Amino acid sequence: MLFNSLEFIFLFLPIALFIFFQLGKIGNYRLAIAFLAIASLFFYGWWNPPYLILIIFSLIFNYVIGSVLSQEFKKPISNKLILTVGVIVNLALIGYFKYASFFLSNVSNLLGTNFNFKNIILPLAISFFTFQQIAYLVDAYKGETKAYNFLDYCLFVTFFPQLIAGPIVHHKEVMPQFADKSTYRFNPENMAVGITIFSLGLFKKVIFADNVAIYATPVFDAALQGTSPTLIEAWIAALAYTLQLYFDFSGYSDMAIGIARMFGIKLPINFNSPYKAISISDFWRRWHITLSNFLRDYLYIPLGGSRQGEFRRNFNLLITMLLGGLWHGAGWTFILWGGLHGVYLIINHQWRSLRKFLGYDLKNTNFLDRGFGWLLTFFAVVVSWVLFRAESVDSAFLILQGMFGLSDWSIPESLSRKSILWIISLLIFAWFIPNTQQWMEHYHPALNCNLTQNYSTSHLKSWKRLQWEPNQIWSVMVAVIAVVAILSLSKESEFLYFQF
């Protein structure tokens, strides 16, 4: 079931909200939790019911391991060994379903055989709920978890707004909210804030992301067949996909936060205007924030972080980003994408170290410094998205050759003004318009809203006057946005991050 489907908007969501708050109204909080957990599993199973077995096994296994780790009684084996077994089983599941075909196909190519597992279907959201539970096990090992009961744990993992494509939530962020009895009482402000954010996200997905995709897909498909794009075709395709992914992911993140807020739950911010970043490090503080935090806390820092010298720091960065790329997909294009971002980060750190050595105050930058950093960062990100989007390494290099002027420079006859105007309009929107969290900042729409303060535009009087308020003008505007988006649901299109 998709957020941008009529059955979700007009059936599943309103029914789930009604039953949840009715159970909360009569004070049966445990039953409300049970209902929401079951509804979340139903939501997950809508796509492919047999994979409910996988997620239920994962829930039971990780809950048992986590419970054993959090208990202080004497055990026949060490907690470290128990944690190791837990992590291995989780990685084995994700390794089999997500990477077995990739690994075997590469081995087959090396050996000249035809052995493969092409019939393996990737279970929806396996990367997200697996990483979320690995983090839980590590925290249980460290003694940072409480003795949660199984029902609460199930809801923590399966809560449907964040189950399919994030954000990757931490138990400390949401478990206390489900323990708060006020969560189960209907709150008009939460509902108004949630509906507004959901509507904005739906509009981004349906109107922006889906409509700009038509300028990227044909060029990438042609490159897969060996056709080299011209300079202009390559750049239009790359920019179109850059914007498609931006508004698709931003739209999903908004919709997830909005749905959760309707239930009285605040999810962490996962997306904070990444195309306004002035460095590649800044980009990764803004893009898929919860994944970046996970990779930092559970991979980069355990590897040694920056504590063991410059060479080791660069090595740790590269390994972290390579694995981050592999997390996104089982393919060489994703590995190259992750590796490229690792190289970007290493260059960024080396440049900062050089400037610091030369006596520059890194905290005191001028307009030209920030402007050049923003332009260079955006260029680097667009180049990397070509690898992320391409179906093969060869087709990615054909697109990149076109972008760097190594193929035809002619202006294609099929080039339309509409495509250029649409891309320019969306670029202006992504670069200069406040994001959803900034529009809604008076009502603290999500956790960690302080992340947007460094980039807040509330000090500008024009934006401050336009910030969201629960009044008639905004009600009409949100209603129009929602109606336009819903009427544009001519066909359902999956969110891009569903495949990761």
Which pLDDT tens digit goes with each residue over 366-419?
788 889 999 999 999 999 999 999 999 999 999 999 999 888 787 777 677 888
pLDDT band at 116 (very low <50, low <70, confident <90, very high): low
Asked if 252 and 497 touch (Cβ cutoff 8 Å), the reply is yes
Tokens standing for 293?
A: 């935090």
**Cα–Cα distance for residue pair 138/158, rounded to 1 Å:** 19
What mean pLDDT comes out for the span 198-208?
Answer: 95
pLDDT band at 115 (very low <50, low <70, confident <90, very high): low
**Cα–Cα distance for residue pair 27/392, rounded to 1 Å:** 55
Give the percent of the chain with pLDDT over 90.
57
DSSP secondary structure letters along 481-497: HHHHHHHT-SS----GG
The tens digit of pLDDT for each residue in 137-150 reads 999 998 888 778 89
**Cα–Cα distance for residue pair 422/210, rounded to 1 Å:** 12
What mean pLDDT comes out for the span 211-220?
Answer: 92
For the chain, the average pLDDT equals: 88
Give the percent of the chain with pLDDT over 70.
93
Asked if 332 and 393 touch (Cβ cutoff 8 Å), the reply is yes
pLDDT band at 424 (very low <50, low <70, confident <90, very high): very high
How many CA within 13 A on the CB side of residue 73? 4
Q: What is the 3-state secondary structure (H, E, C) of 354-366?
A: HHHHCCCCCCCCC
How many CA within 13 A on the CB side of residue 473? 5
Per-position b or e across 164-200, b if 16+ CB within 10 A of its CB? bbbbbbbbebbbebbeeeebbeebeebbbbbbbbbbb
Tokens standing for 29?
A: 């909080």
φ/ψ region of 183 (left if φ > 0, alpha if ψ in -120 to 50, else beta) reads: alpha
* CA distances from residue 455 to 244, 276, 282, 392 in whole angstroms, order as listed: 23, 9, 11, 37
Maximal CA-CA distance, the chain? 75
The tens digit of pLDDT for each residue in 254-263 reads 999 999 999 9
First CA to last CA across the chain, in angstroms? 17
pLDDT band at 499 (very low <50, low <70, confident <90, very high): low
470 cis-preceded (ω within 30 degrees of 0)? no
- Cα angle: 326, vertex 329, 331; to 5 degrees: 80
Residue scoring higher pLDDT (357 or 72): 357
**Cα–Cα distance for residue pair 155/175, rounded to 1 Å:** 9
Query: Known catalytic residues?
Result: 328
- Phi then psi for 268, rounded to 5 degrees? -70, 150
Of 22, 10, 292, 383, nearest to 184 by C-alpha is: 22
Q: Is the pLDDT of residue 173 over 70?
A: yes
pLDDT of residue 118: 59
